[in-house]
Amino acid sequence: MRLALFALLFVTPKDDLEITTDTTLDPAKTYGRIVIKASNVTLDGKGAWLIGAKEGDPKTFKGVAIEAKGVTKITIKNVNAKGWETGLKLTDCSEATVEGCNVSDNFHDPKFAWGENGRRGGIVLERVKKSTIRKNTANRVWDAFVMVKGDDCTVEENDFSRTSNTCLKMWESCRNTIRKNNLSYGLRIDPGEVHARDSTSVLIESGSNDNKLLDNDCTHGGDGIFVRVLNGWVCTRNWFEGNDCSYANNNAFEAWSPGNTYVRNKANHSSYGFWLGASDRTVLIENEAAYNGDPKGFHNSPHLPKEGHAGIVFMFGPSSHTIVRGNHLHHNNGAGIAVIGDIDSKGAKWKAFHWIIEQNKIENNRWGIYAQHADWIDIAANEFAGNKEEIKEDGGVTNLTKRAGTGPRPGCVVEGPSFAKVGEKVVLDSSKSQAQEVRWDLGDGTTSTKAKVEHAFKAPGFYRIGVTVTNGGLSDLGWRDFYVVEEVKEIGTEGSATEWSWVDAGSKCAFSDDKEVRISGSSSLFALADPYSGGRVSLLYPKAKSAAWPLEGKSHVVFWVKAVNENVPAWQDANPIVTLYESDQKKCVITPQGDFMSNLPYIEAREGWAYFVVPLAGDKMWKREGEVKTVNWLTIGFDSWGAPPLRIWIDGLAIK
């Protein structure tokens, strides 16, 4: 009886309908699964329905209604599909067009708790390039539209609203234009629940760069637009303009990535307007952030004093080289703008650093500008009205300058390198900015008021360089993420890829010399762990185990690391562990007292290089166990939570 009932719930034919030529469906008929098998074809549904399950719990729906793999220049239009796990899925396709389709009422799980629950629901694209998704509908699904490794696509005028997870999800997807879509009500929440279980109208993560999101309705989400960095893989150079992200349960905009620009968006009636932690090099121009944290509306996670919220807040992560210009910030329960450095260390670990706040209209907030543990803040030409306090300096604020705000604004132009060797004189030049005033901070304690600066760095590592240029009162800024490398006798990272191996029976590592991604010498070592076991994989050099490096007179192992770990939440346990072997029985293990891949020495290493200096004797940050006098081989060990492929670059490896 149960098998008979199950059969009645499905009308899918036994065999797929395979499309190899232009095909028009009969709108009077009901269809099952369709697979497009050829390029240069059009499927016109004429409004016909593809039905999976006719009834039942949507979280039990199975199968893909329309699918295509490895084809180009296909068109899918006017097709409707419901009762499936996924309405439409394209994989490894290019120049495809999907238009006028309705894939609502597929997989949907409003009661799902926290965490990941697959990429499914409406439309899913994997490795799809140069394609157009236009005027489609996907409501009452888990994810309305998913892009994984999708580049150079246009997504416009779709109704991807009312989902239980996301309306739009992007993973490693670049140079896409997302325009005039309804992406509202990306929300999964029970009555009385606080945080909406990380549901959001838009989720952007893991190397999704250079996208444009324009004039989209992202209202009433868990968040409106969320740029998430759970695995350390940032999303940068994205442009958000004209989007309405108001009435978010949590944050209208939330981002943990650097280098993004927000222009003329609305971020109102949410818990926070813009929550931008760990978002260096952010630009906010002419946005509105109002009525956020209102006790009568959304007011979750009040992190400012006196249960305060903010229109714009940078908190729990660095915010160097930030511009906030021409925004309207009003009626927020807390600050119009909150500029906050590291609270736990009282700014010792990092400060909110190198800001320009000018020409904003800041009205009827508790504080117009709230600053704590902040350095080098230029404030000019803002209009304050009705705030209980215009500027609140709440400890640890240095180099805050209030300017009159008159005169033309210079455009900051910075010329010069981003790399030098220790002791090498470099020139950094801002003279083309044509500014009356200049201030440089070179990141090593050196400042200058000259337009052109000559400087030699004394130690290897990373330096956060900034410059502010001013005419009268209005300002602009520039920056350099600057790397200084010491000349060392490299071992294994200069044309030696064939001499590497690995330790981890469940993984397989491929090694190559990378002449493009490097920081020292002419190449770096690139290691690709694929398949990767998810446990500790140790990169071993040399695989002959006969190096015979004496340690007498040596004090440190040094190396640079760059990594891409797709897994959420990236690393686990201690990383990286350095082991020096004299033999299999005699070794010295130097273990970091923490996960230094998750907690990098400076946050810019998320998108660049991290410099590790490992003491052979150990110290409070590195625990040494065992002792050797001669090193015949070494390993550098990494451990992740999950098992997607690991990409690791190592350069400048030396014992010195």
| CATH number, span 194-201+213-403 | 2.160.20.10
Give per-residue pLDDT as tens, 602-647.
999 999 999 999 999 999 999 999 999 999 999 999 999 999 999 9
Is it true that 1-182 and 194-201+213-403 share their CATH fold? Answer: yes
pLDDT in tens, 90-141: 999 999 999 999 999 999 999 999 988 999 999 999 999 999 999 999 999 9
Asked whether the CA dihedral 376, 406, 361, 227 is positive or negative, the reply is negative
User: 220-263, pLDDT tens digit by residue?
Assistant: 999 999 999 999 999 999 999 999 999 999 999 999 999 999 99
DSSP 3-state of 561 = strand
Whether 51 and 34 have beta carbons less than 8 Å apart is answered as: no
pLDDT of residue 484: 98
**What pLDDT band is residue 5 in, cutting at 50, 70 and 90?**
very low
pLDDT of 407 strictly over 90: no
Tens of pLDDT, residues 289-328: 999 999 999 999 999 999 999 999 999 999 999 999 999 9
pLDDT digits (tens, 9 = 90+) for 333-352: 999 999 999 999 999 999 99
Strands 452-456 and 425-429, bridge-based pairing: antiparallel
Say which CATH superfamily domain 419-485 falls into.
Answer: Immunoglobulins (2.60.40.10)
Residue 405: pLDDT band by 50, 70, 90 thresholds? confident
* CATH code given to domain 497-655: 2.60.120.260
**Cα dihedral 36, 38, 42, 45 in deg (nearest 10):** -20
pLDDT the model gives residue 93: 98
Q: For residue range 148-163, list pLDDT tens digits in order.
A: 999 999 999 999 999 9
Question: What does the mean pLDDT of the chain come to?
Answer: 96
What number of residues does the chain have? 656
* Domain 1-182 -> CATH class: mainly beta
Instruction: Give domain limits for the chain.
Output: 1-182, 194-201+213-403, 419-485, 497-655
- The mean pLDDT of 47-62, rounded to a whole number, is 96
Confidence band for 198, pLDDT divided at 50, 70 and 90: confident
**Residue 411 pLDDT > 90:** yes
What pLDDT band is residue 404 in, cutting at 50, 70 and 90? confident
pLDDT of residue 1: 30
Cβ(598)–Cβ(261) under 8 Å? no
Please spell the DSSP secondary structure of 235-260, one letter per residue. --S-EEES-B--S-SSEEEEE--SS-
Beta strands in 493-631 (DSSP E): 501-503, 509-514, 524-529, 536-541, 549-550, 556-565, 577-581, 587-592, 610-615, 622-625, 630-631
How large is the average pLDDT for residues 560-578?
96
